[in-house]
Amino acid sequence: MEDQADNRSEVISENGSDQKQETREEMLSRHRKETSDLQNKEIALKKAAAKGSKAEQKAKKKQVDEEISQLSTKLKEKQAEELSSLGYSSTTDKQKGNLDNLVKAIAGVSVTNQTEQSKPRKSVKKREKRAQEEAAREQRIQEEQNNIVSDRMIENEKLEQKLEPLGYTINEIKPDGHCLYRAVEDQLALQSGGSSPYNFQELRQMVAAYMRNHVSEYLPFFLSENMADGESEDSLTERFENHCKEIESTAAWGGQLELGALTHCLKKPIMIFSGSFPDVEMGKEYKSGALNASIMLSYHKHAFGLGEHYNSVLPNSFQ
């Protein structure tokens, strides 16, 4: 019973009066959901701010950034306080000691009792060893969450400085793993003046079919990213086929290989703007004047803690 109690953390609610018992896994899961909810709120606020004159949009965007920054700071402080109940603290000078405490908390070992024993039991040492990797991982996640807001703001500022002189703005796309295909769908709808000829799921199926039909072109690039020592070509070919299946039937995130396939499927150039990397234009061979306008996307490395992200880039006149 003591081990079970030690493996739980006591979370104090914001009003300071109510208390409830919450396991470490439940706490970390809740933290991730809180972060995701804040990111969704940011998207909703930015969409609502993208109305009115250019000056009004700029003022609203600044208010949104300030509000999200304040909410993010409060959330990080609250989560850090809750994590401290597991023995974790982000203070740099005490990092090693705090990591040791977090290991003990994850392993279900009382930090106080441990210091009172001259020789820890073998079972305790074994549990601490098993917890070491997990503790380091949780600490890394927390540090990344602490950094992501500032990184995102810097990236967004650089991207805005790049797009504003061109008369472009960003249309936020839902961060659900389909963002690349949804952003392309949004661009196709813009170019058609109505609905897109293909929805995001159809675009996924087109990409998977194209890559299967041109396996000799895509397999070398796939191998360079996925090849492991001692792995046979047959097993890699099977993994490539599994990758194609994931493209067409799951929410697997799209990257450079899928972007290249999209240019050929649609026979359109694709321009990718970024605040973290140089801009990239793919499918230049399909440029043929105004009748074949480029699909314009923005790539965000620090958009969300859940992963990298793509948005659709629109002329200001369409906002």
What is the C-alpha separation between 123 and 156, in angstroms, rounded?
A: 50
Looking at residue 301, what DSSP letter applies? E
d(CA 58, CA 39): 20
Question: How many beta carbons lie within 10 A of that of residue 274, not counting itself?
Answer: 17
Write the DSSP string, 210-242: HHHHTHHHHHHHHHHHH--TT--HHHHHHHHHH
The three-class DSSP label of residue 112 is helix
In terms of residues, how long is the chain?
319
Buried b (16+ CB within 10 A) or exposed e, 101-110: bbbbbbbbbb
Instruction: Read off the tokens for 237.
Output: 């070919």
Indicate the angle between helix axes 95-107 and 122-163, nearest 10 degrees: 120
Contact 266, 281 (CB under 8 A): no
Which residues are catalytic, by number?
176, 179, 309
Strand pairing report for 270-274 and 295-304: parallel
| Cα(310)–Cα(75) distance, integer angstroms | 25
> Which H or E run contains 61?
helix 54-84
Handedness of CA 159, 161, 166, 169 (dihedral sign): positive
CA distance 190 to 126: 60
Separation CA 105–CA 38 (nearest Å): 28
Dist. CA 70–CA 163, nearest whole Å: 26
